[in-house]
Amino acid sequence: MKYKTIKILSEYSDIGKRLDIFLSEKLQKFTRSQIKKIINQNLVMINNNSTKSQSKKIKKNDLIYISLEKSINDKLLPSKKKVEIVHEDKDIIVINKPQGMVVHPGAGNKKDTLVNILIGSHKKKLSKIGDPTRPGIVHRIDKETSGLLVVAKNNLAHAFLGKQFSNHSIRRKYLALVWGVLRPLKGKIETFITRSKKNRQLMIADEFKGKKAITKYHTVKVYSKIDVPKLSLIEFELETGRTHQIRVHMKYKGTSILGDNKYKKKNLKFKKLNKKFEILLNSLKGQVLHASTLGFIHPKNSKIMEFKSDLPAKFKKLLFFLDKLDN
């Protein structure tokens, strides 16, 4: 039987976690029962020492090796599709991901993901820390969210960037069009975020359980016209990076981002709607949310780097229409 080995370096946020919980978070394509089976079969090593203990506590900078049976489905298929590269050097690639592109392969998405494209263009010039189906991937943004993300080309860069994400020193700003007006116009949302028990594909904000989530925001502009519902252009800055964080926090505040069908505001009805706005609204294929700014310390030269991304065409078209109504 052929095995492949996955290497995972623990981060500050992993300290004190049970081994089975740690692996469940890092290897999300496996169920909890599959993770337990892997540990029981003596296929896990921590710092070159094998262990069968499910409850073994993770320490800082532990290097965990997991041996998994090779599967034909694990082979990453290169894609000839192109993606916009904002910056590239020997250690990192900064990508401007379009809306509709999945970051890495998963159930129902085996080709033409960002990883498949990078495999096609960069082959072996990607880091190999963590899940082998995600080479180079340090962080993700949702399929229907556009904008900036950084990819690591080697393991040292991956580990260095990973630490910045875990200690929340990465600068991440997003722009979104939101239904209604947030009160106050500027503030900070602090909750915990956990997976919904009713629908495992959704996340929910909770006052007591889950992972801490902090989102800063300020309202850039409020649009208020007779035949167009009140809308707000809002800039968000993430202090943490939880799954669907901004979208979940908007639902927590009683609203949602335009085009967000997963977390959309309930009972959203309009008596009278501008026809052109209705056409623009119906043309949306996902949330109007864009990762516009990404800042971090370079893993090799320690320089502070910051990148900005222009808004995608549909987002611009909506703003142009709304600004025209204001004139």
20 assigned to active site:
no
Residues 13 and 59 in one domain: yes
For the chain, what is the domain count? 3
Q: Which of 140, 166, 192 is the last residue of a domain?
A: 166
Residues 296 and 184 in one domain: yes
Q: Which of 166, 200, 216 is the last residue of a domain?
A: 166
Tokens representing residue 260 in the block: 């967000």
Distance between CA 24 and CA 3 in Å, rounded? 19
Residue 214 vs residues 168, 201, 204, 239, 295: alpha-carbon distances, Å: 10, 21, 14, 5, 18
Of the candidates 104, 153, 90, the residue with the CA atom closest to the CA atom of residue 124: 153
Q: Structure pTM?
A: 0.80
CB burial of residue 297 (10 Å; 0-12, 13-18, 19+): middle
Residues 240 and 292 in one domain: yes
Selecting among 14, 20, 131, 142, the annotated active-site residue is 142
Tokens representing residue 168 in the block: 């929340």
Residues 322 and 177 in one domain: yes
**CATH assignment of the domain containing 229:** 3.30.2350.10
* Helix, strand, coil distribution of the chain in percent, nearest 5: 25, 30, 45
Q: Reduced to 3 states, what is the DSSP secondary structure of residue 289?
A: strand
Per-residue pLDDT of the chain (327 residues; tens, 9 = 90+): 556 788 899 988 889 999 999 998 888 777 788 888 889 988 999 998 999 999 999 998 999 999 876 554 457 889 999 999 999 999 999 999 999 999 988 766 778 999 999 999 997 799 988 777 889 999 999 999 999 999 999 999 999 999 999 899 999 999 999 999 999 999 999 999 998 988 888 999 999 999 999 999 999 999 988 788 899 999 999 999 999 999 999 999 999 999 999 998 776 677 778 889 989 999 999 999 999 999 999 999 999 999 999 999 999 999 999 998 866
Q: Reduced to 3 states, what is the DSSP secondary structure of residue 123?
A: coil
**CATH assignment of the domain containing 50:** 3.10.290.10
Residues 136 and 221 in one domain: no
Residues 175 and 284 in one domain: yes
Residues 175 and 313 in one domain: yes
